[in-house]
Structure 1
Amino acid sequence: MVTRFIAFAMLVAFTGFASAQPSVSFSASPNEKASHKVVIFQDDIVPDEHKALFTAFETAKALNNGSTSHHYATFGAKHIIALHTDTPLDNPVALQNLGGQIAAALPTDITETYSVDLSGLKSNIQHAAAFIAEGAMLRGYQFQTYKTTKKADFSIEFTTPSAKDDATYFESQRLPVVEGVYMARNFASEPGNTIYPASFIDRAKAALRGLDDVKIRVLDRKDLEKNNMGALLGVGKGSIHDPAMLIVEYSGGKKGEAPIVLAGKGITFDTGGTSLKPNNNMWQMKSDLSGAAAVAGTLHAIAKQGLAINVVGVMPLAENMPAEDAIRPGDVLTTMQGTTIEIISTDAEGRLILADAVRYAQDKYKPSMLLNIATLTGSAARALSDEYAALITRDWDLSVAMKAVGEQSGEHVWPLPLHPNHFKQLKSDIADIKNSGVGNPGASIGAAVIGTFIDEDLPWVHLDIAGVDYLTEATDVAPKGFHGWGVRFMTQLIANEAKKGN
C-alpha cells in the first residue's frame, strides 16, 4: 500500500499573478508502478535493483561527461533519469541545489508525475526531503503570464520514510519561502506598463491579505508631503504615477519589542530620468523594484512561517521618468531629515527614495536593526559579478554575521568598505550632500548617501543586489531571468533573530 501525504499543486493566488506552478508530494513508500522515475546515485555503493542502471549511467557519463543520463523503455519504466551527485548533503543549501538539479533534468513538456526515491539518501539534515522539494520548486519557476502557448509544469513525488513529517515541515516552513521568492520574481518580471506604485501596492496587498499578525499601511502623495519627503517626491515628479510608500507591519513577537526594519528600493521603472539611460538593456529596469519586491516576499514568507518576531517592511515606490516637471541635475531636494541633497545625476535615484524611507522607519518604529536592499549601483555588479551581493555595514562583526547568513541561505554576500572619506566625498558646494558624481568606489558612495540618514548607533546592513538580480544563465535553484534575490537571505536572517529571542 502506498501512503501519500499532501500534494502541493502550487497556484500562485496573488492577484494579477495567477499561473499554474510545479507540484510536489511526499510518499512513505515507493510507487512500484511508477513509469517515470528519477534515481539518485551518491556514491559507488549501489542497491542491487539499480546496479544495471548504474552501469548504464557510468557508460553514458563516460560518453558525455554529464551528471545525468536518460533511459527510455528499459529497467521496468518508460523513462528513468539517473542523476549523480558527489556533493556532501550536509546542509540545507546542498539539498536545495540537488532538488534544483532534479527539476532541471526533467523534460520540458511533462505530463507524467516523476517518482524520486529518497529512502536511501545519505544526509544528516532533518527534513532533507522538504529542502530538496524546495529546491525543485525554486528551479521550476516559470513566468508565463503573457505567453499564448504555455509550457507544462512538472509534478514530483518524493519517497521518504519520514514523509508525513517532511510534508508538514515543507508546507509550514519551506513552501512559504518558495512563495515569497515567486512573488519577488513575479514583480520583477512584470512589464513597467502593469507595475507602477499603485498596482505594486494592490498586488502586494492581495498577496498578504488574510495572513496572521500582518497590518498594511500606505502613505500616498499627501502623506509624503505631510512628512516632508522631498527626495521621494522629487524622484516621482516626472511620472504620471504618484509616488507612494507601502508599509507592512508583522507583529509575531512580543508587544512593544523593537522590530527589525527591512527597507527595499521600489523604482517601478527607471529610465534614468533626465539623465537618460542608453536604450541598451533599459528593458531590464522594470526590475529596479526588486529590493521592494524582495521585502514584500520576505514579509509573506515570515508571516506564513509564523516566526516569533516583529518586522516592518518599508517600500518607497516611484517611477523615474523624464518630463517637463521632472527633477534636473543641479536641483536641490530637501529630505524628511532636513538634509539637503544636490542632484548630480537623476539616475542615482534609489538612494534618494531610501533616504526618506529609512528616516521615516527610524522615527516611526525605533528598530533594533535596519537592513536596506536595492539594485543600486553598476559598481557593485562590476566588483562582484553575479556570485555575490554587495554587503556594506559600519561594523565588521556584523559583516561577518551577514556573511554567515548568506552561506546558510544560499544567497551569498561579500563585504565592501565604508570609509569616513566616502562621506566626505559627498559634500556639496551648494547643499549638504551630493547624490552622485563623486568618484570611486561607486558602491560604497551609494551606501554612504543612505548611511547619511542612518543613526550611527543603529545596526545597519546595506545590500546592493544589482549584480545578482538578473541571471543570464540558470543556476541550480533559479531559471534564467529575475532571481528574486533577497527573500531567502532576509527570511534566514529573520529566522535566526527570532531564535535568539526564544
Structure 2
Amino acid sequence: MKKVSGLFNKVVKTTGIVSIASIMSANAMANATFDFTQSLNENANTKVVFADNAQELDGALAKLNQESNGQILSLIKLNDFDASFGSTLHLQMVAGTESLLIVGTNDEDGELDAPDLQNLGGKIAGALKSSSKTFNADIHIDNLATTINTPSAHIAYGYQLRHYSFDRYKTKKSSGESTINLVTQNASAASSKFNTDLLFVAQGVHLARDLATEPGKNMYPEAFVKHVKAKFKGVKNIDIDVLDMRDIEKLGMGALAGVGKGSINDPRLLVISYRGAAKNEAPLALVGKGITFDTGGISLKSNSGMWAMKSDLSGAAAVAGAVYAAAKREESINVVGFMPLAENMPSQDAIRPGDVLETMKGVSIEIMSTDAEGRLILADAVHYAQQEYKPKMLLNIATLTGSAARALSDEYAAVITRDFELSTQMMEVGKKSGEHVWPLPLHPNHFEQIKSPIADIKNSGAGNPGASIGAAVVATFVDEDLPWVHLDIAGVDWLDAGNDVAPKGSQGWGVRFMDQLVRDQAK
C-alpha cells in the first residue's frame, strides 16, 4: 500500500487505481419505492393521471376536473395540451392537489403495448424529477387502452429504467426520495410481476450503465470482474469462471491476449453460467465485447471524443445485466454469458499494424488496424463458447463499427445473421423489448474481402461496408450450422440526449433485447 498525497489514502496497484467504493454501485437516484394498491395514498402530494382525449376527459382526470369545477379542462385548453402519446402537462395547486401531472396516451397505433407503457413510466419519471426531488405520488391506472394484464407493472418498470443518475464523483449527490403509489384494480398481480420479474431487468440495465459510465482508470478488466462478481453474490444457480492471462495463453487465445498486450492491465475472460433448465439442455450463449478503454492502440484515435471510449465495454456490460435478470427471476433456461475483457493501449508491448495473431481456432489474423480490436477479442470468445458449452444459439453484441452508427443512427442497432429469416425474428424481439434492430447484409463477398495475403484473414482495411466486414471477421469463428446473431450497438449505446427510458449517457442497451430473447428461447 502506498500513500497518495491529498485528503484521502488510496490503494495503488500495478494494474491501476481502484478503491472499494469504485466497484460498488452507488446510484442515489437509481431506486424508487413502488406500492401497488387499490386505494389512494392520503400522503401523496403529487397525482399522475392519463388523458386519451383532451376534450372529453374520463377516469380519474374527469373526477378531478369535476372537483375543480372545470378548472382543469380550462387549463388544458389554455396550454394547448392535445393528449398525444407521451405529451405532459404539469399543473400546480389545482383540485386540492399540490402537483398534478397529466400524461397523454392517444396513440395512432391503437392499443398500447408493453414498450408503450414502459415509455409512459419513463415519461413520468423524467417529468417528476425535473420538478421535484422528493415527492409522494399517486399514479392512477384506470383508463389505458391496452391488452397487457398488468399495465401498472410496466409503467413502474419504465419509471425505474428512467430513474437513474450516476453521481459518484459529484460533490453534491442526488438525495431525493420518491414514493410511487400505483392505484390499480389488479394490484396483487402487478406487484408480483414487477417485484419478481421486471425490477430485475431494470437492475440489469442499471448495472450495464454503471459499468459503461465508470472512468476507465477504475474499470479495467479485473475491476470489471470484481464489480460483476459482487453483483452476482448470492444469486442462485450461478457459476462464475474467470480466465486470466495464463489461461488465455494456455488456450491459445492469441487475439484476446494480443489486444491486451499494450496495457499494464491484463485481459480476462469472464464466464457466467446460469442453469435454470436440465443440465443436459444446450444453453443460449451471449457474448459481449468488453474493451474497458479503447485508445485505438498503435492506430491511435484522435483526442476528440476519446473520453467516451470508457463505454467500449457496453456489450459485455449488457451481457452481465441480461444474465443477472434471467437468474434473478429464475427463468427456465440455461444461459451462459461470455465477457472477453481487455484494455486497448499503445506501448512498447502493443501489437502493431502488420502483425499476425494466432487464434484459439487456429485461424491467423493479420492486423491492419489495432483500432479494429473488438472483433479480435470476440473471435476467441465465440470459439471458446462453442467448444466448451455447445450452445443451441449464439448472440454476440458489441460497440463494433462507426459504419453501423452512420447507417442506422441512434434509432436502431444493426443486426447481422447468415439467415435473413433469423434477422426478421430478431426484429420482432426488438419490437417486443423496446430496443429496435434493423438488418444489414452478410454477403459471400465480405468474406472474400477479408482474406489476407500473409495470413488467413485480416481484421480490417477491406473497404465498405464496414459493419458487414466486422461481422464477417466474427462469423469466421462461428460454426455455419449454429444459429448466430451479431448485434452492432455502436450507434445506440451512448446518447448525448436522454429518451423516455434513459437519461443521456450510457443506455445499458441490449439488456432488454437479450432479456426478451431469453424469454422467447425459454418458451
Aligned equivalents of 2:83, 2:200: Cα separation in 1: 38
Query: CA 1:153/1:332 → structure 2, altered by over 3 Å: closer, same or farther?
Result: farther
| TM-score, L = length of structure 1 | 0.94
CA contact (8 A) 2:83 2:105 kept: no
TM-superposed CA distance for 1:15, in Å, is 5.0
* Residue pair 2:164, 2:206 contacting (<8 A) in 1 also: yes
Q: Deviations over 1:90-110 (max 9, x none)?
A: 311110011111111114342
Structure 1 counterpart of 2:388:
364
Contact 1:212 1:303 in 2 (8 A): yes
Q: TM-score, normalised by structure 2?
A: 0.91
Contact 1:337–1:356 (8 Å) recurs in 2:
yes
Report the alpha carbon displacement of residue 121 of structure 1 after superposing the two structures with TM: 3.1
Q: Which residue of 1 aligns with 2:259?
A: 235
For 2:47, give the aligned amino acid.
Answer: K
Q: Which of 374, 380, 388 pairs up with 1:350?
A: 374
Aligned-pair identity in percent equals: 56
> In structure 1, how many angstroms separate the alpha carbons of the residues matched to 2:81 and 2:143?
25
1:5 matched residue in structure 2: none
SS of the residue aligned with 2:296? coil
Q: Does 1:92 align with 2:114?
A: yes
Q: Does 1:490 align with 2:499?
A: no
Distance (whole Å) between structure 1 residues aligned to residue 360 and residue 83 of structure 2: 61
1:67 paired with 2:82, answer no
Give the structure 1 partner of residue 73 of structure 2.
54
Indicate whether 1:126 and 2:149 are aligned. Answer: yes
- Aligned residue pairs: how many? 487
1:35 Cα deviation (Å)? 2.4
Instruction: Give the SS at the match of 1:330.
Output: coil
Correspondence for 1:8: none
Match of 1:106, SS state, is helix
Task: Tell me what 1:22 maps to.
Answer: 31
CA–CA distance in structure 2, aligned partners of residues 231 and 70 of structure 1:
55
Which AA in structure 1 matches 2:381?
A
Deviation at 1:63, TM superposition (A): 11
Q: Which residue, out of 310, 333, 337, partners 1:309? A: 333
Give the whole-Å Cα distance in 2 for the aligned partners of 1:419 and 1:64. Answer: 46
Q: Give 1:126's aligned amino acid.
A: N
Q: Does the CA contact (< 8 Å) of 2:415 and 2:438 recur in 1?
A: yes
Residue 155 of structure 1 is aligned with which of 155, 172, 179?
179
- Is this contact kept in 2: 1:61–1:69, CA < 8 A? no
Name the SS of the counterpart of 2:343 in structure 1: strand
Provide the rounded CA distance (Å) in 2 between the counterparts of 1:91 and 1:210. 34
Matching residue of 2:138: 115
Structure 1 residue 69: Cα displacement: 2.0
**Aligned amino acid, residue 25 of structure 2:** F
Q: Which runs of 4+ in 1 moved over 4 A?
A: 62-66
For residues 369 and 427 of structure 2, the distance between their equivalents in structure 1, rounded to whole angstroms, comes to: 32
In the alignment, which residue of structure 2 is the partner of 1:417? 441
Q: CA deviation at 1:55?
A: 3.2
Tell me the residue number matched to 1:9: none
| Cα contact 1:196–1:318 (8 A) shared by 2 | yes
- Cα deviation, 1:466-488, whole Å, max 9, x if unaligned, reads 00011111111111111000000
RMSD: 1.7
Contact (CA 8 Å) 2:36, 2:188: kept in 1 or not? Answer: yes
CA distances 1:205-237 after superposition (whole Å, capped 9, x unpaired)? 011111111100000011001100000000000
What's the CA shift for 1:61? 2.4
Residues 405-447 of structure 1: per-residue CA shift (max 9 Å, x gap)? 0000000000000000000001111111100001000000000
The one-letter amino acid of 1:372's match is: N
Contact 2:45–2:98 under 8 Å retained in 1: yes
**In the alignment, is the contact (CA less than 8 A) between 1:428 and 1:434 conserved in 2?**
yes
Which of 163, 181, 189 lines up with 1:140 in the alignment?
163
- Work out which of the residue numbers 75, 78, 83 in structure 1 matches 2:98: 78
Alpha carbons 2:82, 2:104 under 8 Å: kept: no
Pairs within 5 Å for 1:408-447: 408-447=432-471
Unmatched tracts of structure 2, length 5 or more: 1-20
CA distance in 2, matches of 1:443, 1:481: 23
Change (3 A) 1:107 1:233: closer
Q: SS of the residue aligned with 1:249?
A: strand
| Deviates further, 48-57 or 139-148 | 48-57
Structure 1 Cα separation of the partners of residues 350 and 81 of structure 2:
62
- Structure 1 unmatched runs, 5+: 1-12
State the 1:33 CA deviation.
5.1
1:281-360 equivalent positions in 2, closer than 5 A: 281-360=305-384
Q: Deviations over 1:5-63 (max 9, x none)?
A: xxxxxxxx995113332312222212255322112112234244233323322321269
Q: Does the 8 Å CA contact 2:255/2:377 hold for their aligned counterparts?
A: yes
Report the CA distance between 1:119 and its aligned residue: 2.9
